[in-house]
Amino acid sequence: MVKLAINGGEPVAKDLVNLVPRWPVFDEDDVRAVVEAIRGGRWCRLYQGSYAERFETEFAKYHDAKYGIAVANGTVSLELALKTIGVGLNLGDEVIVPAYTFIATASAVTEVGAIPIFADVDPQTGNIDPRSVEKLINERTRAIIAVHFGGYPADMDELTRIAKRHGVYLIEDAAHAHGSEWRGRKVGAIGDMGSFSFQESKSLTAGEGGIVLTNSDELADRARLIHNIGRVIGQPGYIHYILSSNYRLSEIQAALLLSRLRKLPSEVKVKHENGKLLADMIKRTGVVEPTRPDDRVTTRGYYYFVMLYRQEELNGIPKEVFIEALRAEGVPVGVSYGPPLYRQPAFKRENLAKSVPRYILERMPNYEELNLPGAEEFARRELVLPHYLLLAPREALELVVAAIEKIKEHADELQPLVSKLKVSDTTIDVTYHRM
């Protein structure tokens, strides 16, 4: 008799761990690049022709942008973009952000002295809903941050129109979207500025790191000044033109990123094709469905492969129980970030009072009263697989589908677990990513 692995049966996807690359991946070229940077003896980018400068040029070119400014991590890249466009210089500045994303999209706003305003998201994609954005714009709105969730580009047509119509800046949070394309153009510089992360789990990584992209000469010059403590890179002496902080990326990380960037286009291509294949396969199970297709999304540079759970197709089994059953079968499934941001403890009034100046706190909305239907539905249904699973051969994708189908066939075995199974954490983290 076949039993689900969660009940002691044989995991149907037990061989998946041997088919999926261990992340992060690297090769001898990457090792040589780092060693050369170390032996070069110049580990800070403060010279012409640095690794960081070369990486900025090459990454910007790859992402169809004129300029790139490399920084220490993806969170400060958002802060740099916001500071560059002047957010936070006026009391009460507001920035519209999606209600479902990693918290840095919103915390970057408070870090520069402004107020995050949560827009609803499309429950089929997790991306910011342009209709919700338009309703929230007022005289205090300085910018919109659009997250390309999981690598699926947000609706840049409509968001661009809204931003131009209201005279506000559009920033792309492309931390998930290395290589993603909207209408054949890579994301990151379609808006006024774009922000990327190179944290360990990202598609292009040096452990940490980030970059800001733009096509504006003026914004690029200002971003460079802000990111280097108000100094002009390459100019001798200690002349500081503005008061600022240090956002610079190290040369060792930049050398690794330069090496890894050479492999990124082929990896993006493989993931895009395998993503389409897996989407077709899982849709047939009926238990989960892929995010809604959009012909304007011409390439998906995945960070997450996002699926939407159909609880009614599994006899009402809660998503958390389905996740544990699928994990037991050998599939590294989870959720991305849990609840919508306005439900995070950080946005409780009592906790905001500990981290936000009073003059900003007094102007903030009561986040605890929010209940945005798109974000709530997406959080309720969302499941994710890590991007590097899409670098595995077709056999690996078939094992994922086989595990889902096995659980569907034996769903009655899960019913006794509903009341007694305690699920402490269904998010995917880096250690789980490593399989």
pLDDT tens string 11-62:
999 999 999 999 999 999 999 999 999 999 999 998 889 999 999 999 999 9
> Which residues belong to CATH 3.40.640.10 in the chain?
28-263
Give the model's confidence band at 432: pLDDT under 50 very low, under 70 low, under 90 confident, else very high: very low
| Residue closest to 272 by CA, chosen among 351, 193, 194, 177 | 177
Cα–Cα distance, 333 to 38 (Å, whole number)? 38
> Which residues belong to CATH 3.90.1150.10 in the chain?
5-20+264-339+375-433
pLDDT digit string, tens, across residues 219-278: 999 999 999 999 998 888 899 999 999 999 999 999 999 999 999 999 999 999 999 999
pLDDT of 135 over the 80 cut = yes
Give the model's confidence band at 428: pLDDT under 50 very low, under 70 low, under 90 confident, else very high: low
Instruction: List active site positions.
Output: 102, 173, 176, 199, 202, 231, 238, 248
Q: What is the pLDDT of residue 182?
A: 98
pLDDT digit string, tens, across residues 68-113: 999 999 999 999 999 999 999 999 999 999 999 999 999 999 999 9
Instruction: Find how far residue 160's CA is from the centre of its chain.
Output: 20
pLDDT of 435 over the 70 cut = no
Q: What is the pLDDT of residue 393?
A: 98
pLDDT of 327 over the 70 cut = yes
| Residue closest to 151 by CA, chosen among 25, 260, 267 | 267
28-263 topology per CATH: Aspartate Aminotransferase; domain 2 (3.40.640)
Average pLDDT, the chain: 95
In the numeric block, which tokens belong to residue 416?
């006794």
DSSP 8-state assignment for residue 220: H
Give the model's confidence band at 434: pLDDT under 50 very low, under 70 low, under 90 confident, else very high: very low
Q: What mean pLDDT do residues 139-163 have?
A: 98
Q: What mean pLDDT do residues 5-12 have?
A: 96
pLDDT digit string, tens, across residues 240-257: 999 999 999 999 999 999
- pTM here is 0.96
Q: Give CB contacts under 8 A, 24+ apart, made by 51-57.
A: 51/251, 51/254, 51/255, 51/258, 52/248, 52/249, 52/250, 52/251, 52/254, 53/233, 54/254, 54/258, 55/211, 55/249, 55/254, 55/257, 55/258, 55/261, 56/211
Per cent of the chain over pLDDT 90 is: 93
The pairing of beta strand 210-214 with beta strand 115-119: unpaired
Q: What is the pLDDT of residue 420?
A: 72
Cα–Cα distance, 298 to 269 (Å, whole number)? 11
Helices (H), 69-154: 74-84, 104-111, 130-136
Give the model's confidence band at 422: pLDDT under 50 very low, under 70 low, under 90 confident, else very high: low
Q: Are 203 and 178 in contact (CB under 8 A)?
A: yes
Q: What mean pLDDT do residues 200-210 have?
A: 98
pLDDT of 1 over the 70 cut = no
DSSP 8-state assignment for residue 286: S
Residue 265 Ramachandran class (φ > 0 left, ψ -120 to 50 alpha, else beta): alpha
Architecture of domain 5-20+264-339+375-433: Alpha-Beta Complex (3.90)
Q: Read out DSSP for 339-382? A: S-GGGSGGGSHHHHHHHS-HHHHTTS--GGG---HHHHHHHHHE
Q: What mean pLDDT do residues 313-335 have?
A: 96
Q: What mean pLDDT do residues 129-135 have?
A: 98
Q: What mean pLDDT do residues 169-187 have?
A: 98
